[in-house]
Amino acid sequence: MAVITIEGLRKEYRRFRRPTTVAIDGLDLEVPEGGVFGFLGPNGAGKTTTIRCLLGLVHPSAGNVHLLGADVSRALPSVIGGVGSIVESPALFPRFTGRRNLEILGRIQGVGRTAVGDVLTRVGLAERGDDIVKTYSLGMKQRLGIAAALLKDPAILILDEPANGLDPAGIVEVRGLLKSLGAEGRTVFVSSHILTEVQHTADRVAILARGKCVATGPVHEVLASRGGEGMVARVEDLAAGEQALRAAGMAAAVDGDALRVSVPATDGARITRTLADAGLYLSELRPDEVDLETVFLELTKGDSGDVG
C-alpha cells in the first residue's frame, strides 16, 4: 500500500510583474509503506514545495496528493495525527525551552508529558530539554525538530534535510535513528543533499529535477539502471592482463590504473582464473558500481544550482 501518492502535481508561483515560476511540473510519485524513502534533487528542483504540498501548507496549482490514503486538499486533518514532519529547518520558539516547545505541540494532539520526555531521550536531548532553544547548537535544534516529529508516534515521517547542521557523529546518529524508524514499520520520507547518507540509509529513492521525477525505485535498481555493469580488476601488468582477458573472450580495457571488464559481477571467478592462468595475480577485483552521487549528477545535468 502506498502511503504517499502524488499524481500530476503542479505548483506555479505567480508574482506581481514577474514571470510565473513553475516549482513542480507534473510530478508523479508513489511511496510504499515502511522503510526509508530518499527524496533527492538539486536546489530549486521542487523538493520542499512538494513536502509543503504534502502537508497542506501550499495549495497545488494542479494534481492530486494523497497522504495515508487521504486527499490532502480535503481530508488532511483526519490523518495529520499520524504524520510527523520537519519542513526546511525545525521552527520552534527560540525563547522557550525545548521541553516547553514540545509540550505546546503535544497538547494539540493530546500527547502527554511522559511522551515528551521519551522523545527527548530518544534524540539525546534529555539533559538539555529544560534549556531555552536559543542556546542550542544547530545540530541540537535539528534533533529537537526530529523529537517534535516523533512526538505523535507517527506512521509516516516527512523530514526535509534532517541532517542539516549535524556534526559527523550527529549524522551517524540520525542515520541510525532513521534506519531504526524505518525498521519499526514506519515510513520515513527524507529529502537530503547528503547523497552518501541517503545511499546508506534509504531503501528506495526518487530523484527530482526541474520539478519532475526523473528516476525512482529501490536504490540498487536506480544505480543499476545507470550503467555500472561490469568489473574492475587491478593487476601489476595492465597490458598483459587486457590481452589475457580479451583472449578469453571478455571485453576488457585499461582505464587509468585498472582494467574495466564488461562482464556480469557473477563472472568474477572467470576473471580470476584467466588472469592466474596467464601468471597475473589480482590486487583488487570489485564490481564496477556507480554511486548515487554519480547517478544523481547524471540525471540532473543541466539543472540549476548545487545539490539540495
Partner 1 sequence: MIRLLSAELLRARSRKLVKVLLIVGVIGIAVGVTIGAVNSTKPSGAQVAQALEQRKVQSQRCQRQQLDENGAPLGAVGDCAAPLRLFLPQNAFDVNDIADLLRGTSVNLIVIGWLLGASLAGAEWAAGTMTTLLTWEPRRIRVLFAKLFTAIATVLVVTVVLQLVFVGLLWLLAATRGVNLPDPGLWRAIFGSMVRVSAIASLAAVFGMAIAMYTRSVAAAMASGFVYLAVIEGLIRGYRPGLAQYLIGDNAIAWVTGRPFTTNDPTHPVTLVHAVVALSIYAVVLVAAAAASFRGRDVT
State which H helix or E strand residue 216 sits in.
Answer: strand 212-218
Cβ at position 21, least distance to partner 1 in Å = 12
Cβ at position 115, least distance to partner 1 in Å = 14
Compute the distance between CA of residue 200 and CA of residue 128 in angstroms, rounded to an integer.
29
* CB closer to partner 1 out of 81 and 217: 81
Per the CB < 8 A criterion, the answer to whether 23 and 15 are in contact is no
Cβ at position 18, least distance to partner 1 in Å = 15
DSSP output for 101-146: HHHHHHHHTT--HHHHHHHHHHTT-TTTTTSBGGGS-HHHHHHHHH
- Contacts (Cβ under 8 Å, ≥6 apart) of 71: 64, 65
Nearest to 162 by CA among 152, 147, 183: 147
Cβ at position 117, least distance to partner 1 in Å = 17
* CB closer to partner 1 out of 62 and 91: 91
The residues that bridge with 21 in the sheet, in sequence order, are 13
Cβ at position 79, least distance to partner 1 in Å = 10
Per the CB < 8 A criterion, the answer to whether 76 and 70 are in contact is yes
Compute the distance between CA of residue 19 and CA of residue 72 in angstroms, rounded to an integer.
28
* CB closer to partner 1 out of 100 and 260: 100
Task: Give the three-class secondary structure for 147.
Answer: helix
Summarize as ranges the residues that interact with partner 1 (CB under 8 A).
52, 55-59, 76-77, 80, 83, 85, 87-96, 100, 103-105, 107-110, 148, 152
Cβ at position 82, least distance to partner 1 in Å = 12
* CB closer to partner 1 out of 5 and 89: 89
* CB closer to partner 1 out of 23 and 40: 23
Question: Residue 44 corresponds to which cell in the numbers above?
Answer: 530549486
* CB closer to partner 1 out of 49 and 192: 49
